[in-house]
Amino acid sequence: MTPSQQRRLTFYEDAQKVTIKQNPWIKFINVILALIIFILFTAYDFKAIGILNTQNDELINTSLRLKYNNNHGLEIIGWFCWSIYLHVLCFYIIRFFISPPWKNTESFYYVKPGKLRTLIKFLIIDIILSCLNIPLSYPYLKEPITSCNIESLDSSEYEWCTIRVKLVILAWLSIFIWFMVYLIYLSFIFIILCEKIYMILMSWVIYKYQHIKGLYLRWKRKEMLKKQSEIEIEESKDLISNDFQGNASNENENVNRNINDNEVNGIEVVTT
């Protein structure tokens, strides 16, 4: 029999008990990394445009090397998102200088147990910030260049190609940098899930152990009862054989006694 155990909490109940506290340092580092990526992306972008402007018209008119392929609407949207993204980063930096994380122990980056509304709000904000990078990164993600052949390109084209490769990498980083902090939250969920799997496996092992132990005890009890019954049968056989031998010896004694009595009686008759 499996011993009675207390009711175990479900995965959802365990997740509701977890206190999610986003450390201000994590957000600060995230914003600093996003700002560095944005500055590098902007610098390489202007440098690539400068290289194209110094080339002849035939080089500039190629569709691959134009940023937006003469799509002025997309270019306006890109510059608009660029300015909005810059203002948001400046707002974060100013806010961190006004309320630095090393002085503010309890910031608004706090989620009570079971209350994930604040976390969802921050997730929506991070998704919006990632979407602001898409118009900036779209020209480099649409037709990415991953390598450059120095033999088939001259010095200026090779320089432009290497910058383009860096812009592709920075474009991907600028989109996914805002989701870096959620890897920590996923690690919490992964830990809870591993704990649940461990408890399930332990319960299964205990159940199997108790089941095998019960089968062994049942078999051992049957063997003991079988052995005891065999001993009782042997004892009963011994008793029966002893009784039979005792009765036989008594009968022999009675017969011998009768024979002796008859002999004595015969001798007495002759002498008289």
Place of tokens 């580092």: 29
Count each helix (H run) and each strand (E run) in the chain, helices first. 7, 2
Of the two residues 190 and 65, the one the predictor is more confident about is 190
pLDDT for 17 equals 60
pLDDT for 93 equals 84
Phi first, then psi: what are they for 20, rounded to 5°?
A: -95, 115
Q: What type of residue is 188?
A: F
Question: Which H or E run includes 111?
Answer: strand 110-111
pTM of the model: 0.58
pLDDT for 130 equals 87
Neighbours of 153 (CB within 10 A): 14
Q: Predicted confidence band at 269 (pLDDT cuts at 50, 70, 90)?
A: very low
* Least confident span in 16-30, 83-97, 189-203, 219-233: 16-30
Answer yes or no: is pLDDT of 178 > 70. yes
* Least confident span in 131-145, 176-190, 233-247: 233-247
pLDDT for 205 equals 87
pLDDT for 40 equals 92
Q: What type of residue is 118?
A: T
The strand pairing partners of 21, in sequence order, are 110
Are 48 and 99 within 8 A, CB to CB?
no
Distances in whole angstroms, Cα of residue 167 to Cα of each of 37, 44, 68, 98, 218: 10, 7, 15, 33, 73
Mean pLDDT, the chain, rounded, equals 71
242-266 burial, b at 16+ Cβ within 10 Å, e below that, comes to eeeeeeeeeeeeeeeeeeeeeeeee
Q: Give the tokens for residue 144.
A: 């990415």
Integer Cα distance of 150 and 157 in angstroms: 9
89-104 burial, b at 16+ Cβ within 10 Å, e below that, comes to beebeeebeeeebeee
Integer Cα distance of 143 and 172 in angstroms: 13
Q: Which of 136, 131, 133, 132 is nearest to 74 (CA)?
A: 136
Give the torsion through C-alpha atoms of 159, 160, 164, 167, to 10 deg.
80
Of the two residues 65 and 70, the one the predictor is more confident about is 70
